[in-house]
Structure 1
Amino acid sequence: MGELQSALDALAVEDLFALAPGAVLERTTALLQVVNRATAELTRTVRHADATGAAEHDGKKTMPSWLRGHGHLTAGEAGRLVRSGRALEHLPATAAAFAEGTLTASQVAVIAPIAGDAELAAADEQDVDLGVIDRALVAVATGEAHDRLAQVVHHYREALDPDGTEPDPTEGRQVQVARHADGRRSIRGELDAVSGEKFEAALESMVQANRPQGDDRTRAQQLADALVQLCDNALASGGLPKLRTVKPQVVLNLDIDDLIDPATGPGAARTGFGGQISAARARWLACDASISRIVMGPDGVLLDLGRDHRVVTPGLRKAVELRDGHCVFAGCGAPTYWCDVHHLIHWIFGGETSLENSGLLCERHHTKVHHGFRIERDPGGRWHTYRPDGTEILIGPPLLV
C-alpha cells in the first residue's frame, strides 16, 4: 500500500501541460485502468470483510453500515459495493476482467444481479451454464455500449422466468425530493418502462416546442426547464386537486420593506415549503400573482388579514396574450401558456396594471429582464430587447458594410 501511495504522489506532481494531447489521453486510459483495478481490489477486500464479519471489530453490524460511517459512502454506494463482491464469487470471468482493469465498477454492478439468490436457483433448475453467460456478458461489456449491457442482462433475467407474474408497475415507482438549506431541490427517482415513456414523452414535447434562439445549454438543463414548465402549466390550469381547501400554488412570505427595496435582498423571502429566496426573485414572481396583505403586530400577533388581490386579472391576461402572441424577448417564440405577464414598470413602484404596461415573457426571459435586460414596446407596436449595457439585441441577417 505504501508503494501505491508513493506512485500516486509522483503522479500528482507531474506537469500535465508538458504532455502532448496524445500523451494526455494515454495517461487518462492508463489511469482508468488503474482505478478499475483498485476498485476491484477494494470490492474483493470488502467481500472478505463482509463474509468474515470484520465490521464487528469497529462495533458495526454490517459492512454497508461500516462503509457509510467509515468510508463516507452513500447507502446506495455501500450496498452496490457489497452486492458486487458477493456476486463476483459466482462470476469468475467478470471478476478476472474487473481485476485486470477491463471492466468498470458500474459495469460489474449491472452484471451482478444475475448472481442473485433467485437467479442462481432458476439457472440451476434450468441447467443454465452460468459460466457461459458470465463470459458472454464480459464480451458485451468490453465490446459494446454500456446501455447494451444492461439490456442483455435484463433479457437474460426475464428468460429465466418467462412465465412469471407481470410486476405491478406502481410497486417499483419512486421519487425522492431532497430539500437543501437555500431552497434548491435534488430529485432522484425510478419509473417502470411505461411510466418512463410517458415521462420522457411529456418532457420531450416541451423541449422540442418553440424555444429561444441560440439556446446552447446542455440537454440536462433543457430537460429541467421542461419539467418546470410542465409544473407551471398544471398549476396555471387550475385543474390540480386542492390542498386543504385551496388550489396548489407557489406561496411566498415577504416583508413589504423588502418588496419595495430595489436591492437584491438575499434570503429575504420564505417559500411555503420552507425554502428561502431573494427579494429580487420574489419581485419577479409578484409580476403575475395574487397578493395578500397580512399585518402583524410587534409581538407577532396577527392584526389584519386583507383579501387576495389579483395583480393581473384573467381579462387583462387574455388581452396581453392576444396582442403579443408569444414571449416578446428578442429571438424567442415561446407560446403564451409558457409565459408570465410582466410589468414593464413594476406595480410596486407605481406601474399600472394595464395592457400598455404589460408584456409576455417566458420563465427564462422573465428572469433575464429582472436581472438587467429590458424590453420596450415602441409606438408602432414593435418590441425591442436591450442588454444590460444598453445595446439592443437585433434579430435578422447581418448588415452589409
Structure 2
Amino acid sequence: MNDPDLSLLSAGELLRGIVDEVTEIRAREYTVMQKIAELNRRGAATEFGYKTLPQVLQHAVRWDPKTAKRWVDQAVLLGSEITPTGNELAPELPVTAEAAAEGTLSIEHVAVVAEVMKSLPSTYEAQVVGYAREFAPASVRALGTRLIYGLYQNDPEPRDPEPAPPGNRLTLRQDKAGDWKFAGTMDAVTGAKLVTLLDPLAKPRSTTDEGPDPRSRDERQGDALAELIDLMLRADQLPEHGGEPVTLTLTMAYQDLAEQVGHAVLDNGNRIPADQVRQLACTAGIIPIVLGGKSQPLDVGRRSRLFTAGIRRALVARDHGCAFPGCGRPPKHCDAHHVHHWADGGDTRVDNGVLLCRHHHTLIHRSGWGVTIEQGVPVFYAPAWLDPRRRPRRNQLHTAA
C-alpha cells in the first residue's frame, strides 16, 4: 500500500490495519521459533561447527547474543519434543504455544509468561496467558508477581543455609561421557587469588566478525579456568610427575589421525575423537604418540614437532595476538596453530603457523572457517553458509599494531 492510499484511510482503518499486520508478524515469529526448535532438536550447531545454536543464529541473521539466546530459549519452551520411539510430547508451555501460534503474543510476552510460570504450578498457565492476551509484558509480569505472592504468602520464610566450614577442598568426578564434574570450597585468601587469576581471562571477548561474545558469565569463567590450565601447561616451571614435567599423552593410529576418523587414548584410558586430537596436537605440553600399522610408535611428539620458543616469538611479532578477525586476545592467551596440519604433511615453521586464542582455535578445527597465509599474513575465510562469496578477512585490530 502506498502513501496516497494511506492518506484516504480513516484513523480507525489505519489502526485496524496495524493490529492485523502485527498479529500476522507475531504468527510468523511463532513459525520462525518452530524452525529454531527443530534446529535445536537436530543439534544443528554441531553440524555447522559451532558450540551453541544462538552462535549460529548470531551469524546467520546478525542478531546480538542476547536476542539470539532469547529466541532459542522461547523456541524450546514452545516447541514439541520427539521421543526416541517417535512419540511427540506437548510443549512445556502448551497454552502459551497455542496463543503464540494465533499471533496473540509477542516474543516479549512469551518470555514474561515463561518467567512467571517458573514459580507457579502448570495449572495457572491459562490464567497467566489470559493476562498476556490483554496486557503489555510489564503488566503481565506485575500481575504474575501478585499471583505468586498470593499463592505462597503463607509459606514459612526460608532458613539461611548453614555456613560451610573453612578450608580448601576439591572433589573431582568423571561421568560416563568423559566430562569432569567438580565442587569444593576455598578459604577467603585462596578464593581471592583464584578470582584475581580468572577475572582478566573471563572478560567478554571483543566484538569480531562473529559479533559480540555470546557466553554467559558462568560460561566465560569456565572457559577462563580451561585457559588458565593451558597457560600453566605452557609455563616454564611445572610440578613433576614421574621425574619429568607434567605431560598429557595421546595415542592413536597415524592413518586414523590423517583421515580424521577414530579416536585417541589418553594416559588414563579415556578416548577422545580425532578432531579434538588434531586441535590438541597444536598445543605445547601435549605429546602425540602416533602408531603405524603394527602399533609401533612412529613418532613420540619430538619437541621439533611443536612450535619452538623462537618460532613462537616470530608469530607474536607478526600476529600480535589472536589473528582471528576482530579478536583482541593477547599472545599469552593463544596457541600456535598449524595452518597446514602436521598430520597432513605440514611443517612447523613461521609461514605455516598462526596464533589463535582457545575459542577461535576450536572454531577453526571444528567449523567451516578457514585460514591461509597470504603474502606472509594470516587471512581468514568464513563458511559458505555465512558468506557465499567467501571474502578474505583479516584482524584489523592487530594490523594497526
Indicate conservation of the 8 Å contact 2:173/2:182, yes or no: yes
| CA–CA distance in structure 1, aligned partners of residues 185 and 154 of structure 2 | 25
Once the two structures are TM-superposed, the CA of residue 190 in structure 1 deviates from its matched residue by 2.2
Give, in whole Å, the separation in 1 of the partners of 2:373 and 2:242: 42
**Higher gyration radius (CA):** 1
- Which residues in structure 2 correspond to 1:99-138 (within 5 Å)? 101-102=152-153, 108=158, 110-111=159-160, 113=162
**CA distance in 1 between partners of 2:250 and 2:234 (Å):** 17
Quote the offset at 1:313 in angstroms: 2.0
Secondary structure of the residue that 2:241 maps to in structure 1? coil
SS at match of 2:202: helix
Partner of 1:208: 203
Cα 1:391–1:205, aligned 2, differ >3 Å: closer, same or farther?
same
Residues 321 and 355 in structure 2, CA contact (< 8 A), matched pair in contact too: yes
Name the structure 1 match of 2:302: 309
Once the 2 structures are TM-superposed, how far is the Cα of residue 210 of structure 1 from its aligned partner? 6.5
Local SS of the residue matching 1:356: helix
SS class of match (2:234):
helix
Which residue number in structure 2 is paired with residue 256 of structure 1? Answer: 254
Matched, 1:236 2:237: no
- Residues 68-105 of structure 1 show CA distances to partners (whole Å, capped at 9, x for unaligned) of xxxxxxxxxxxxxxxxxxxxxxxxxxxxxx99624889
Matched with 1:326 is: 321
Q: Which sections of structure 2, spanning at least 5 residues, go unmatched?
A: 1-89, 123-148, 385-389
Deviations 1:215-260 (A, max 9, x none): 1221111111110111111111032211121211332122111111
Distance 1:103-1:395 versus aligned 2 partners, 3 A rule: farther
Identity %: 27
Shift of 1:196: 2.4
Q: Structure with the greater relative contact order (CA < 8 A, sep ≥ 6): 1 or 2?
A: 2
Residue 341 of structure 1 and its aligned partner are, at CA, apart by: 1.1
Moved more, 268-277 or 225-234: 268-277
SS in 2 for 1:258: helix
Query: What is the distance in 2 between the residues matched to 1:350 and 1:28?
Result: 54
- Counterpart of 1:247 (choices 240, 245, 248) is 245
Out of 16, 32, 57, which is 2:119 matched to?
A: 32
Q: Who is 2:75 aligned against?
A: none
Aligned to 1:374: 370
Q: For residues 338-397 of structure 1, give each alpha carbon's deviation from its aligned partner in whole angstroms, at most 9, with x where no partner exists.
A: 111111111221222111111111111111111221123332x44322112134447779
Cα deviation code 1:311-353 (max 9, x no counterpart): 1222222222222211111111211111111111112212221
**2:278 matched to which residue of 1?**
283
- Which one-letter code corresponds to 2:371 in the other structure? I
More strand by share: 2
Counterparts in 2 of 1:307 and 1:255: CA distance versus 1, 3 Å: closer
* TM-score, normalised via structure 1 length: 0.55
**Paired AA for residue 353 in structure 1:** T
Report the CA distance shift for 1:242/1:225 in structure 2 as closer, same or farther (over 3 A): same
Q: CA deviation at 1:175?
A: 1.9
Deviations 1:43-89 (A, max 9, x none): xxxxxxxxxxxxxxxxxxxxxxxxxxxxxxxxxxxxxxxxxxxxxxx
Pairwise mapping of residues 151-190 of structure 1 onto structure 2 (< 5 A)? 169-170=166-167, 173-190=168-185
| Aligned residue identity for 2:302 | H
**Kept after mapping to 2: 8 A contact 1:183/1:274:** no
Q: Give structure 1 stretches of 5+ with no counterpart.
A: 1-8, 36-97, 114-153, 158-166
Change (3 A) 1:189 1:341: same
* Aligned residue-pair number: 264
